[in-house]
Amino acid sequence: MNIALLGYGKMGQLIEKFALQRGHQIHLIVDESNRESIGAEDLDGADMAIDFSRPEAAVSNIDLCFEADVPIVVGTTGWYNQLDVVKKRCLDGNKTLLYGSNFSIGVNVFFYINKLLAAAMNPYKQYDVQVEEIHHTQKLDAPSGTAITIAEGIIEHTDAKTEWINNLIGDGEESIPKPNQLLIESHRIEDVPGTHTVLYSSEVDQIEFKHTAHSRAGFALGAVIAAEWLNGKTGFYQVTEMFNFGGQV
């Protein structure tokens, strides 16, 4: 495929590396230095776009690809408050988009098992559950999109929790969760690619379920694999639809 990269930070550069290794070509690189001058005509000849830009740029980049009729894989998070509008625009216009909070194979296995664990723990009301996430200090959104996906998987299978709230440690503000609220605790530490932990705590013990990323490479490779999966399709997809773990939770 001829791939347009929307965003050329550390993730964009890794995606370029894996795309070239897998036999693709880079048609266009868009970043903050040239985004204002890029129009739909610049995407002529692109088979696919991959967006790892910034939360405030994601929807504009999606619209650009819709206008150019180029399928897009969106790894940027922090824009999901507009997800329903973007989905309608995609389906009404017969466009193609795949989005996800995390493209790592390991994390998507984690998402699946997280739901199984939540369903297994649901009868045992003596356990309270929370989510902790640690990322590098350049991470622009808190909580991470991955942490939100984890929290939503727990809420879906836990009667006691109906919504999540976030505490960003070190920002000076701390919210005390109500019994129906699932706490996501966010930490920002230098040079941490991403760690996510689900904790079930009672008076007698604690269960921890954790995923630790050693680098961004798994996310970048997963994004290229997602682009390959999306090629030739039309519609609106989540990254979880790429994976088949032997049944739905």
Catalytic positions, written as ranges:
135, 139
Whole-number CA gyration radius for the chain: 19
Burial of 80 from C-beta contacts in 10 A (0-12 / 13-18 / 19+): middle
Cβ proximity of 90 and 96 under 8 Å: yes
From CA 167, how far away is CA 20, in angstroms rounded? Answer: 39
From CA 1, how far away is CA 22, in angstroms rounded? Answer: 10
Cβ proximity of 114 and 196 under 8 Å: no
Positive or negative: CA dihedral 96, 145, 227, 237: negative
Q: Which of 154, 228, 226, 214 is nearest to 184 (CA)?
A: 154
Which residue has 């490779």 as its token pair?
Answer: 221
Cα dihedral 37, 31, 2, 94 in deg (nearest 10): -70
Q: Distances from the Cα of 23 to the Cαs of 3, 11, 16, 224, 228, in angstroms? A: 11, 18, 11, 11, 11
Whether omega for the bond prior to residue 143 falls within 30 degrees of 0, making it cis, is yes
